[in-house]
Amino acid sequence: MNKIDFILLFDAMDANPNGDPDTGNMPRIDAETNIGLVTDVCLKRKIRNFVSLVKPDEPGYEIYVKEKAILNNQHERAYKANGLDPKKAQVDKVRSWMCENFFDIRSFGAVMTTGVNCGQVRGPIQLSFARSISPVTQMEYTLTRCAVTTEKEAAKQEGDNRTMGRKFTVPYGLYMAKGTINPFLAEQTGFGEADLELLKAALINLFEFDASAARPAGSVVMRRIIFFHHDSQLGNAPAHKLYDALSITLKPDVVFPRSIADYDISLSAELPAGIRVEELLD
């Protein structure tokens, strides 16, 4: 496998692409510029969820970081599978076992030194925060609750005295995230061509199975996925030059973008030698 850099371009309309629990789950923004943010952790979570969905029981595609996972129990499995004593750390053998069995470890890496020590893994896939191209507005909506949980609460809600709630969205935001795949780390973790194809499928379907009240179906959409394939392991150009090849500008007559059609988007045809472009979406 040679070096790969890639760009993800997606938009959100009347949705909360990534709520911040420190601000009551309001959409994340850069406080100085109002540029919208979606964390790399959020994007990786959606990749993990897709892999769990399409390969729930397939060996080699377990997910290490998942809800209510007891990580030390997974570490103990690695020692038992290799006939080793968990009390005597033998990191190299168990680290390899963890890479072989968990898709997200061989893709994103993991720190597995808690309690039962399985060492650390640097993953070949790294993702940036997604940042919106234009500033976004955090919208807040007041909701009323008609159902109650107890008779006492029902008595309090007579007339207009109802419990209020809040819902947060951005009216529209076009976001771009950047990623890379390090071929040298891929060799170390065992990330191979089958994993790469699964990653591509996950990126294409990143939001298709993620619908919720905060992100209704069709409200967050992957618009473009651009892979830059280098013809060498060391790469043929710095990643930032490839990312800069994608130009995104707001059309002159647009003040408040509400659609991807409000932007002019183009990919430069003049790329460094040794770079092959692959677009995953038509």
pLDDT tens for 39-85 read 999 999 999 999 999 999 899 999 999 988 899 999 999 999 999 99
Beta pairing class for 130-135 and 109-112: unpaired
pLDDT reading at 2 higher than 80? yes
Q: Taking the domains of the chain in order of start, what are their residue ranges?
A: 4-137+169-279
Q: Residue 89: is its pLDDT beyond 90?
A: no
pLDDT at 159: 60
Tokens of 113: 């030194």
- What pLDDT is recorded for position 41? 97
Amino acid identity, position 69: A
Specify whether the CB–CB gap between 28 and 37 falls below 8 A.
yes
Q: What is the mean pLDDT of the chain?
A: 94
pLDDT digits (tens, 9 = 90+) for 151-206: 777 777 666 666 667 899 999 999 999 999 999 999 999 999 999 999 999 999 99
231-264 pLDDT, tens digit per residue, is 999 999 999 999 999 999 999 999 999 999 999 9
Q: Could you tell me which of 169, 197, 167 has the C-alpha nearest to residue 181?
A: 197
**Predicted model pTM:** 0.93
